[in-house]
Amino acid sequence: MSAATTSECALAEQESLRLHALGRFQITGTAPEERFDAIARLAARLFRTPIAYVSLIDQHWQWLKAQTGLGPVGLDRGPTPRSASFCTHTIRSDDLLVIPDTQRDPRFIDNPRVVGLPFVRFYAGAPLITADGFRLGALCVADTAPRELFPAHDRQALADLAAMVVEQMTLRRSELARLSMMGFANATELALLALTREGRIRFANRAAASLFGYDLDEMLGAPFELIVPERMRAAHRAALGRIFEGHLAKVVGRTLEVMVRRKDGSECPVEVSLSLWDDEREPNLGAVIQDISARRRREAGLLQLAHQDALTGLTNRRRFEALLNDLYRRGEAATVLLVDLDGFKAVNDSLGHAVGDALLQAIAVRIPAVLPSRAVMARLGGDEFVVLLPGTGDPLAARTCASAILAALADPVVVEAHILRVGASIGFALAPDHGRNGEELIGSADFALYRAKQEGGGGARMFTSEMRHAAVALRSTQDALLRALHGDELVLHYQPQICLATGQLVGAEALIRWQHPERGLLLPGAFLPAIKMSPLALPVGAWVLDAACRQIAAWRNQGLPPFRVGANLFSAQFKAGNLVREVADALARHRVAPDWLELEITERVVLQSDDRTLGTIRDLRALGVRIAFDDFGTGYASLSSLKRFPLTTLKIDRTFVSDLLTQANDAAITRAIIRMSNDLGLETVAEGIETEGQEVVLRALGCKVGQGFHYGRAMPAAGLTGLLAGRQGDAWLSVPTLRAAE
């Protein structure tokens, strides 16, 4: 026998073994599967090629298991002759096969896929190599334009993706095996567990003991928390009870990815498939567990967590948006529900981020259990989640889903012995009615979510066009305010505060105005809500502080007698965490004595206060700054706040003053506030005084200071300067002079 004949026999035998290995996977000619389509799409995105596909080569044919970019006029998933395939050459190559320009390669210049659709000019293929070295097909990327360069790092990335395809083929083969008793019997490399209703390990095989690092005797009878990371134990314990009660039936039969804990404390990602059965009238939960550490490491390196939220294991924003955009491209209906947790920030602030993270993980287990089978849940970031209902734009289905989510969150979540209660606000939008594309649909759902939170939270709202119009108007106002801030259109006017006993000026409240270039001077009601609902609250609040201190310094430099100036604070300034430094810097910058500045806090600040806010107010008072409680008596702040906060002043709201002479209840409340304030050593300022009769009664009740139209409207600094400059000697400007100046 000649050497050539011997070589041909060896090649024929090798090809026979290769075909046998391919047959063991039972994959040629099978239906599309998302796991392979996803890798093809990833390859197309990663290498920026319009075409990517997974091919398998048998004796006579090339089969496409996955493809993207070929389209209806290109290759379909049916077989094509092996002789016309690029991948036949790939599986014969020692390395990747890269063809920079098919029209310059004599092997392919007449290939049907080069001279005809899809007109391939560039090709790169990585062989699909099994663990025992057989090349079954290739993962390929192709372009209709030639490419001169395909560098080494791209070659390695394509090879890694090909390895992922082989892993998925291997996993698929294992899954097929598990569907039959013979396959299950051969699945000894998988960890097998059985749990009792009480959550104790009733059975474990050697693979499970090896995976978790325990002896079998240590595992049997132990609580299943033995293999669960500590931060997830409460959530998994709750989920176990719900499974046995039948509330999480949708989880059974699914393949889940979770983290488990080994004996040495290390954590390991695994795939778990659950099953329920009754044994001697006692229910059991079975778990088939596969270590996916190696796969996760490879995916992490290639995908950089492209599809999954690292904290919760849910789909992440990028992947979610891709799924939504795919639905739009296919012209399918869809519903998007944005879910924002109510009360999560309080948990994070009071108990720490570790507890907050554990809470998010528990929520990520609880909500998917009540969603329809095709629903996709993702975490967008922070405490905001999103749910996609593909194939439906029905408002009733959306409301049903929203109600199920709210009901799922009604029960408390136990994290590290903390019993946590959080609700949710939900906004939803329907495609295609509420958005021309995925981005617009999510934006519409966000408008609806904003409305749900505006209405107090704990409910769900569907998008309406009115919401967008309101949001556009609000955004327009906010944009104009930003220009106003930088264009010196914002000004402070000052309303006098008068000593009721002497009639002398003792202070002024700085009130913001907007000198609009087209609409003239605007009062706060026209624009203040837009500031409070945007990040503008911080720069505008800082500007108010600086402008007030600058004016105090200007009056001092003009030789006018000092008097206090009140400035209002936004609640956002307390949340920012740098308010004390901001106030101290403004005082130092303008050389203003702290007791010349009075900071007014609203009931909103008091009601939303936590230890950090209280500490901020105490630090401000320690600077020497005066603290006034504005509009006292109009809301729900408790009297205990007067004890907790280091106040210097109570301001009686104008609603009590206006009916002081005609309503006995208002008079009684005003009398009580003044007496209580005096007993606590606080100064009382009555707002909204418009008549001499009101002034007389307030003075008789013991009120110290008055403010209102009776003494003067808020005026520009120059106007108040002119009045102050008219004083004689060291006497304060008297009330009659102020009124006469108007």
Q: Read out DSSP for 305-323?
A: SSSB-TTT-SEEHHHHHHH
In terms of pLDDT, which residue wins out, 70 or 682?
Answer: 682
Q: What is the pLDDT of residues 166-200, one digit of tens each?
A: 999 998 887 775 554 333 433 557 888 888 888 88
Q: Does the 308-463 domain belong in CATH 3.30.70.270?
A: yes
Which of 272-281, 488-497, 695-704, 712-721 is predicted with the least confidence, judged by mean pLDDT?
272-281
Answer whether 11-165 and 188-296 agree in fold.
Answer: yes
Cis peptide before 118 (omega within 30 of 0): yes
Two structure tokens written together for 251: 């989880």
Q: What is d(CA 167, CA 271) in angstroms, rounded to the nearest whole number? A: 14
Domain formed by 476-737, architecture? Alpha-Beta Barrel (3.20)
Nearest to 661 by CA among 693, 633, 613, 687: 693
Q: For 383, which DSSP code? A: T
Q: What is the distance of C-alpha 189 from the center of its chain?
A: 39
Domain residues of the chain, as ranges? 11-165, 188-296, 308-463, 476-737
Q: Check whether 697 has a pLDDT greater than 60.
A: yes
- The CATH fold of domain 188-296: Beta-Lactamase (3.30.450)
Q: Quick one: pLDDT band at residue 589, thresholds 50, 70, 90? A: very high
Q: What is d(CA 91, CA 52) in angstroms, rounded to the nearest whole number? A: 17
Two structure tokens written together for 464: 């309406």
In terms of pLDDT, which residue wins out, 454 or 319?
Answer: 319
Which of 144-158, 291-305, 329-343 is predicted with the least confidence, judged by mean pLDDT?
291-305
In terms of pLDDT, which residue wins out, 347 or 61?
Answer: 61
Q: Are strands 520-522 and 564-568 parallel, antiparallel or unpaired?
A: unpaired
Q: Does the 11-165 domain belong in CATH 3.30.70.360?
A: no
Q: What is d(CA 14, CA 338) in angstroms, rounded to the nearest whole number? A: 56
Residue 574's pLDDT is: 84
Nearest to 284 by CA among 276, 295, 292: 276
Two structure tokens written together for 472: 């556009």
Residues 266-288 have a mean pLDDT of: 80
In terms of pLDDT, which residue wins out, 224 or 473?
Answer: 224
Q: What is d(CA 122, CA 111) in angstroms, rounded to the nearest whole number? A: 13
Residue 73's pLDDT is: 37
Residues in the chain: 742
Q: For 144, which DSSP code? A: S
Q: Quick one: pLDDT band at residue 702, thresholds 50, 70, 90? A: very high
